[in-house]
A and B are shown apart, each in its own frame.
Chain A
Amino acid sequence: MIRLEKRKEPSTFWRIANPFLAVALTMIAGGLMFAALGKDPIAAIRLIFFDPIFSAQFGSFSRPQLLIKSAPLILIAIGLAIGFKANIWNIGAEGQYIIGALFGAGVALAFFPAPGWYIFPLMVLAGAFGGFLWAMIPAILKTRFNTNEILVSLLLVYVAERILAAMALGLMRNPDVAGFPGSRDLRRYEAAHNAELIAGTGIHWGVVAALIAVIFAYAMMTRHMLGYHIKLAGQAPRAARFGGVSPARLVVICLGISGALAGLAGMFEVSGPAGQVRIEFASGYGFTAIIVAFLGRLNPLGIVLAGLLLGLTYIGGELAQMMLQLPGASIQVFQGMLLFFLLALDFQTNYRLRLTKGARI
């Protein structure tokens, strides 16, 4: 008879080993899936996980892409992880990402075509503020009316997507080009362009912001009282309340931080890699970032690694689409599987398998 026995202390070894195991299992399961689709599994896995960086043929194009794709994932996941630690579930980061982008682009389009050094910093502030505002809706509804933040933040993603479409077709549409939806290309507007900072690396201001966010989050969670309160509220809510930690304040702070960071990610994306407000602007970073946060064990440094890995699958997925005619959605399946394996493996962290003799009592 095998049974699960709860460990007295969560196992540190498995906590760190599980993400790697999950990636390995995903590669195997993903390989089987590709084989079922009639593609060479080894070639597909190679193309997704190795070629974007190591291939001589694609490397020069896709290496800079790695930072471009990973930066928004890391930026969003850092914010989400802070909330998840306190059991505050903001799963609508995709919506905050969209609204942040709209606020940032709105500032740029309002100033167009004026030059000025102050325009880009203003856009950064506006982007963070937009994401913050959008996250305040579930936060305030939660603290004032006890409404479930999971449902509200998620439903607001659909609202944000429709605002995005309305903007791309209406208010923010490029007046110079008749007939096409979409705003002006911010990459052609010097003062608003989130340009590459070092040529050929893919480093733009979003990458810098992600790095700063990682350092701040690390310092906050390990050295600051607020980080301690967040962890306490997540692990022992009653103790936290008796200790004077206000749950409402934590909800506002956690949702506010994650919203602002998601908004920033959206703003850096729209002013750089994406370039314009279009209906197809939202690319699921907000949802993938949830996987990044879990895979990185809600730890800032882990999130960096997880963000790079999932950024890699984005690029590898595009390569596989091009070279092997694999459907683009297969990468989403990959990401979903990764989360499944990770969650499943995590039982080892908290429980151990015990062989017992005879029947269970």
Chain B
Amino acid sequence: MILGSINPAVLMAALMVAATPILLAAIGELVVEKAGVLNLGVEGMMIMGACLGFIVAVNTGSPVLGFVGAACAGMALSLLFALLTQALMTNQVASGLALTLFGLGLTALLGQRYVGITPPRTPKLDLGPLSEIPFLGRALFSHDIVVYLTIALVAAVWWFLNYSRAGMILRAVGENHDAAHALGYHVRRVRVFAIMFGGACAGLGGAYLSLIRVPQWTEGMTVGAGWIALALVVFASWRPWRALAGAYLFGGVVVLQLNLQAAGVKIPVEYLSMSPYLITIFVLVLISSGKARGSLNAPGSLNRPFHASD
């Protein structure tokens, strides 16, 4: 039987790796949306991170610097979005789309000379005896450090949003920016910081793709990961731990699909590789339809422009 040839421990391990880039991007976008801003440029910021992270890592020989560069690149692009939407009051949907189109073009240009190069390897974290545990060792404790840091980031965001003063202010800004403004909070400043955080996270997610998961640079290599991350935020009903669960569920689908391809199932590769997108749509439908009521949790001021004199 085909499924019998798939080792569950390896599957679990691969799933965590597949989920990490979209989880990184999604947790960043979650904070942005909690602040009341819809940034549809996640795909653009991810591909910027993937490209710049790759270039920095190859030129310096250091994956760590690569990730730093990727975060900066994502943040730089997100600042452009912040300038447009927060200072110049442009339409958030259109600006996000512009970000994606621009990012895809610019990276195709910048990354041209880097196609076909292998980046410096990111070492697996040495967890000593933990990695020796049968099954769990292979599945959970044999990853690079980014996988664990991403989980830590989810925890940090959860704590920040629920238990820190700054997090409460951010949520207030997102729920009702007029009330937050009346209370004396700086709506725009909070939003700009949130947008920058989202950009940095998306950049890191992109770099994880080009430096660890693939690891190579090709034009347009994110193939919709940014959009899936956006869908994931809706699926998670804006809750960090649900985003983690959603990302792992999604990672599972991707990995299973790849395994089925490798096991030589009689379905053409093209149809199998559609499944992540179809599953994402399916899950979106489940969560936004009446019964689940996930969409009711959306921040009140999401995608509404704020201008103090209005």
Q: Do A and B come from one complex?
A: yes
Measured CB to CB, the residues of A under 8 A from B are 4-6, 89, 91, 141, 144-148, 150-152, 154-159, 162-163, 165-166, 169-170, 287, 290-291, 294, 327-337, 339-340, 343-344, 346-347, 350-351
* Most central of B83, B105, B108, B112 by chain A CB within 10 Å: B105
Instruction: Decide: A151 and B270 in contact? CB cutoff 8 A.
Output: no
Q: Which residues of B contact A347 (CB under 8 A)?
A: 88-90
- Please pick, from B102, B270, B295, the residue contacting A166 in the complex, using a CB distance under 8 A: B270
Instruction: Decide: B288 and A336 in contact? CB cutoff 8 A.
Output: no
> Are A291 and B101 CB-contacts (below 8 A) given A145-B285, A347-B89?
yes
Instruction: Decide: A162 and B271 in contact? CB cutoff 8 A.
Output: yes
The smallest C-beta distance from A294 to any residue of chain B, in angstroms, reads 6
Instruction: Output the nearest chain A residue to B295 by Cβ-Cβ distance.
Output: A146
Instruction: Decide: A330 and B97 in contact? CB cutoff 8 A.
Output: no
Instruction: Decide: B89 and A158 in contact? CB cutoff 8 A.
Output: no
Q: Which residues of B contact A330 (CB under 8 A)?
A: 105, 109
Q: Tell me what chain A mostly uses at the interface: helix, strand, loop, or mixed.
A: helix
Q: Report 30 cross-chain contacts, Cβ distance below 8 Å, ordered by A residue.
A: A4-B89, A4-B309, A91-B97, A141-B285, A144-B289, A145-B288, A145-B290, A146-B295, A147-B288, A151-B284, A159-B274, A166-B271, A169-B270, A170-B268, A328-B108, A329-B108, A329-B112, A330-B105, A332-B108, A333-B102, A333-B105, A335-B101, A336-B106, A339-B97, A339-B101, A343-B94, A344-B84, A344-B90, A346-B88, A350-B89
Q: Which residues of A contact B309 (CB under 8 A)?
A: 4-6
Stretch at the interface among B15-23, B63-71, B208-216, B222-230: B222-230
Q: Which residues of A contact B108 (CB under 8 A)?
A: 327-329, 332
Q: Which residues of B contact A89 (CB under 8 A)?
A: 93
The smallest C-beta distance from A310 to any residue of chain B, in angstroms, reads 12
The smallest C-beta distance from A208 to any residue of chain B, in angstroms, reads 29
Stretch at the interface among B118-126, B135-143, B193-201, B275-283: B275-283
The smallest C-beta distance from B110 to any residue of chain A, in angstroms, reads 9
The smallest C-beta distance from A158 to any residue of chain B, in angstroms, reads 5
Instruction: Decide: B230 and A333 in contact? CB cutoff 8 A.
Output: no
Q: Which residues of A contact B40 (CB under 8 A)?
A: 150
Instruction: Decide: A6 and B310 in contact? CB cutoff 8 A.
Output: yes
Counting contact residues on chain B (CB < 8 A from A), the size range is 35 or more
- Shortest beta-carbon contacts, A-B, top 7: A332-B105, A336-B102, A329-B108, A166-B270, A145-B289, A333-B105, A347-B88
The smallest C-beta distance from A348 to any residue of chain B, in angstroms, reads 9
Q: Which residues of A contact B310 (CB under 8 A)?
A: 6
Q: Tell me what chain B mostly uses at the interface: helix, strand, loop, or mixed.
A: helix
Q: Which residues of A contact B95 (CB under 8 A)?
A: 343
Q: Which residues of B contact A329 (CB under 8 A)?
A: 105-106, 108-109, 112, 219
How many angstroms from the CA of A336 to the CA of B273 in the assembled complex? 29
How many angstroms from the CA of A150 to the CA of B288 in the assembled complex? 14
Is B234 part of the contact surface with A, judged by Cβ < 8 Å?
Answer: yes
- Please pick, from B101, B103, B290, the residue contacting A287 in the complex, using a CB distance under 8 A: B101
Instruction: Decide: B277 and A159 in contact? CB cutoff 8 A.
Output: yes
How many angstroms from the CA of A239 to the CA of B84 in the assembled complex? 29
> Are A151 and B98 CB-contacts (below 8 A) given A89-B93, A145-B289, A146-B288?
no
How many angstroms from the CA of A205 to the CA of B278 in the assembled complex? 34
Is B307 part of the contact surface with A, judged by Cβ < 8 Å?
Answer: yes
Instruction: Decide: B231 and A146 in contact? CB cutoff 8 A.
Output: no
Q: Which residues of B contact A166 (CB under 8 A)?
A: 268, 270-271
The smallest C-beta distance from B150 to any residue of chain A, in angstroms, reads 22
Is B80 part of the contact surface with A, judged by Cβ < 8 Å?
Answer: yes
Query: Knowing that A148-B288, A151-B231, A333-B109 are A-B contacts, what are 13 other residue pairs whose CB atoms are under 8 Å apart, sorted by A's residue number?
Result: A151-B227, A151-B230, A156-B277, A157-B224, A163-B270, A165-B270, A166-B268, A166-B270, A329-B105, A329-B219, A337-B102, A339-B97, A343-B90
Instruction: Decide: A146 and B289 in contact? CB cutoff 8 A.
Output: yes
How many angstroms from the CA of A169 to the CA of B268 in the assembled complex? 10
Is B24 part of the contact surface with A, judged by Cβ < 8 Å?
Answer: no
> Are A336 and B268 CB-contacts (below 8 A) given A155-B280, A343-B95?
no
Instruction: Output the nearest chain A residue to B112 by Cβ-Cβ distance.
Output: A327
Map CB proximity to A onto B67-95 as digits: 1 under 8 Å, 0 otherwise.
00000000000001001100011110111
How many angstroms from the CA of A151 to the CA of B98 in the assembled complex? 16
* Most central of A155, A157, A169, A170 by chain B CB within 10 Å: A155
Q: Which residues of B contact A155 (CB under 8 A)?
A: 224, 227-228, 231, 277, 280-281
How many angstroms from the CA of A158 to the CA of B277 in the assembled complex? 7
